[in-house]
Amino acid sequence: MMDWTDRHCRFLHRLLSRRTLLYTEMVTTGALLHGDQARHLDFDACEHPVALQLGGSEPADLAQCAKLAESWGYDEVNLNCGCPSPRVQRGAFGACLMGEPQLVADCVKAMRDATSLPVTVKHRIGIDRIERYEFVRDFVGTVAEAGCSVFIVHARNAWLDGLSPKDNRDIPPLRYELVHRLKREFPQLTIAINGGIRDEAVIEEQLRHVDGVMVGRHAYHEPWSLAEWDARFFGEPARALSREALEEAWMDYLERLHAQGQGWALAMRHALGLWNGLPGARRWRQVWSDHRLKTLPPRAVQAQATEARLGGARQAA
């Protein structure tokens, strides 16, 4: 979810769900240790609980970044061992780390020694054409011995050669049964599943087998789906929230950005799916995507977008 789950996206998702654990996009250790820390680490207090996801393979660097995560107030630090992009591979981290479980264990131990935050690992079920269950079982077992007790498992292999990151999300087959088997064989660990989760019925089914579900693109493209998660999955009273009320709260946020001299369009892109599935949604998106309007105050654009949406709904009626 690099370039997707930035602080603006997380603010929107927190308006929809109080309980869902939010993750940052993956941030490399080099970017934190040698770059603009505030740009990468700043977040709004309303985002809690929120986890910082790191990319790296040097235990000492990851330890320093884990300390930063704690000092900046994050609730968890997560090591990404699942990203298959060529750029990440050139840095010798991401999914290629699954081939070096002892190095991952060393990284986890260094991070745990440096912080009191939970240290978790996100990974795949295998790399390239290694499809044996024993491969992921041994990886999890080795890393667990270093003190990691939470694993978020993308239920596809990562093909490090021959597939783009996009194709790696679709072409390697989903094998949920391997993640379920991990939970059966490591009942003491927290096992969450990821990959191809596209509706709430699938989330419910997966929760019969594992401890948690990580949802990426479905949550991003259909943000309104999060509105029922607190009641459906956490047993909390349903929120009396309408799409109109959510849009108003989001406009307050965009107006704050605008008043601070920040462009609101980069934030607004995360909310373009708000009215998906309803009459007039396409016209609403078209207004918000019109680059000629991006210098206007957000509520001025909202007035045009709402008029377009309601006009489209009347035509469809």
For residue 287, what are the contacts with CB-CB under 8 A and spacing of at least 6? 293, 301, 304, 305, 308
Could you tell me the pLDDT band of residue 38, with boundaries at 50, 70 and 90?
very high
Q: What does the alpha-carbon distance between residue 193 and residue 215 come to, in Å, rounded to a whole number? A: 9
Tell which residue, 81, 85, 80, has the closest CA to residue 165: 85
Last residue of a domain, one of 192, 213, 234: 234
Instruction: Tally the domains of the chain.
Output: 2
Residue ending a domain, among 234, 253, 281, is 234
CB 8 within 8 A of CB 270: yes
The 10s digit of each residue's pLDDT in 173-195 is: 999 999 999 999 999 999 999 99
AA letter at 55: G
Q: Which of 176, 211, 234 is the last residue of a domain?
A: 234
The span from the CA of 264 to the CA of 258, in Å, is: 6
pLDDT confidence of residue 88: 52
Percent of the chain scoring above 70 in pLDDT: 96
**Cβ neighbourhood burial of 234 (10 Å; 0-12, 13-18, 19+):** exposed
Same domain, residue pair 247 and 267? yes
Q: Residue 1 falls within a domain, yes or no? A: no
Separation between Cα atoms, residue 313 and residue 317, nearest integer Å: 6
Residue 304 inside a domain? The answer is yes
Average pLDDT over residues 107-117: 98
- Domain hosting residue 276, numbered range: 243-316
CATH of the domain at 114: 3.20.20.70
Average pLDDT over residues 122-143: 95
Residue 140: count of CB within 10 angstroms of its CB = 21
Residue 7 has pLDDT above 60, yes or no: yes
In a domain? residue 121: yes
Shared domain for 258 and 292, answered yes or no, is yes
Helix (H) or strand (E) holding 120: strand 119-127
Q: Does the residue 178 lie in any domain?
A: yes
HSE value, Cβ hemisphere, 13 Å, CA-based, for 306? 11
Same domain, 68 and 155: yes
Is the pLDDT assigned to residue 31 strictly greater than 70? yes
- Shared domain for 147 and 271, answered yes or no, is no
Q: Which residue has the higher pLDDT, 226 or 93?
A: 226
Contacts for 295 with CB less than 8 Å, ≥ 6 apart: none
Residue 28 lies in a domain: yes
Q: Is 120 in contact with 77 (CB distance < 8 Å)?
A: yes
Question: Could you tell me if 62 and 169 lie in one domain?
Answer: yes
Q: At a CB cut-off of 8 Å and minimum separation 6, what does 29 contact?
A: 54, 55, 56, 58, 61, 62, 64, 65
Q: Are residues 76 and 205 in the same domain?
A: yes
Tokens of 178: 């391997």
Closest CA to 152 of 180, 122, 186: 122
Mean pLDDT of 139-163: 93
Tell me the average pLDDT across 8-37. Answer: 96
| Residue 40 sits in the same domain as residue 182 | yes
Per residue in 47-98, pLDDT (tens digit) is: 999 999 999 999 999 999 999 999 999 999 999 998 776 555 445 667 899 9
| Residue positions annotated with a catalytic role | 83
Contact 15, 249 (CB under 8 A): yes
Does residue 202 sit within a domain?
yes
92 φψ region: left (φ > 0), alpha (ψ -120 to 50), beta (else): left
How many other CB atoms sit within 10 Å of the CB of residue 235?
8
